Amino acid sequence: MYGIHLATMVLIHYFIWQHASKHSSLVKEDLDPRINKLADRLSYLAIISYIAAIMLSFWRIEAALIIYALVPLPYIFGWIYRLA
């Protein structure tokens, strides 16, 4: 359930970012297109990682927990938002 919840939250974050980046009144008008690509890639990586962690948790719970701990770091530290 935890992994499904995390993957769902990443999907919601992805769709909110897509909506905001398409409307110039919600983000800086001169937003670099590379930021959108980076945000997309980060979301794809997170979703794939969480799905992998869900599947891996049936065999190696420790490895899944490591993935769960590492994936949110870019969101926690705001690395992508500092580039914007």
Digit-coded pLDDT (tens) for 11-22: 998 898 888 877
Is residue 65 assigned to a domain? yes
Residue 83 has pLDDT above 70, yes or no: no
Residue 4 pLDDT > 70, yes or no? yes
Residue 36 has a pLDDT of: 78
Residue carrying the six token digits 């580039």: 83
Distances (CA, A) of 70 to 3, 24, 26, 50, 73: 13, 32, 29, 10, 6
Q: How far apart are CA 77 and CA 84, in angstroms?
A: 14
Tell which wins on pLDDT, 52 or 23. 52
Residue 81 in this model has a pLDDT that exceeds 70: no
Number of compact structural domains in the chain: 1
Determine the average pLDDT of the residues in 64-72. 91
**Domain range for residue 35?**
2-21+31-83
The answer to whether residue 66 scores a pLDDT higher than 90 is yes
Q: Is residue 26 part of a domain?
A: no
